[in-house]
Structure 1
């Protein structure tokens, strides 16, 4: 399996992802990796309906994502991974899925989170997961849209008090 792009965006498939990031990735399949979404039939249906034409969408939990990645049947697949949070990215990385870079695009503000950019808010657990990803050699690519310059995620965490 060839990973073309991995992105954390809690909105999952929306206009920017469907029109820009999917083209940027050039993948034939989007795999949404989320325990929460995989267990929510309504959300699964909505995410699949938002997919760009001609791109297959699967919604799985991290355990299934690892099994699919390691299945020789999918060796020639090109994929765009979408995550709602960094903890599930870290789970895949710790189980030897070779994610080299994670695009951090959108994590909405809610109670318990601190806003670090216009589009990204994190809590302590998420900040730690991002730091663990970076320690594991994963590039943290902070960009909402593909044309944005890459931001320094660690710097933004420090500025926000993490």
Structure 2
């Protein structure tokens, strides 16, 4: 037995507004793990994330290595978990480390230099595409949905349509 992962989400805004609250309600999680080496080192951001937690949900901000090490620990079997990541590279690293799940919800990946917008909320660069391809090859569904009510758009279909894979 390992912790129950109910939702894996990539959103570089992490916990913001009602978005996570609604996902937390629908998935009935009792724990949100924000998995990011950078955020785990940032005391202010950690504090703010914990304060933004939906009612009845505990938030922990942990490193990638920590996630890999606790995944199979029976102490965490009571966790009904949402994993929040800021980018596909970090997700790939936990999967390579033995963490397993079926699908990833992609909420937001901000535009920055060298990235191409593929939806109004998602921009990717070559590194992102490489990591998303890897995740897809592991049999993980990659669906873009900012909010629960959005219809699912499959990342790989979109990348193919854009001629990016």
- Under TM normalisation by the shorter chain, which class is it? over 0.9
| Secondary structure class of the residue paired with 1:76 | coil
Residues 1:65 and 2:89 are matched in the alignment? no
Q: Where in structure 1 are there 5+ consecutive unaligned residues?
A: none
Distance 1:80 1:13 in 2: 11
What's 1:132 paired with? 134
Distance 2:20 2:161 in 1: 31
Structure 1 residue ranges, 4+ long, deviating more than 6 angstroms after superposition: none
The one of 122, 126, 131 aligned to 2:124:
122
CA gap 1:16/1:161 in 2 versus in 1, 3 angstroms:
farther
What's 2:48 paired with? 46
> What number of residue pairs does the alignment pair up?
162
CA RMSD of aligned residues (A): 1.2
Deviation for aligned residue 1:19: 2.5
What's 1:34 paired with? 36
Normalised TM-score (structure 2): 0.93
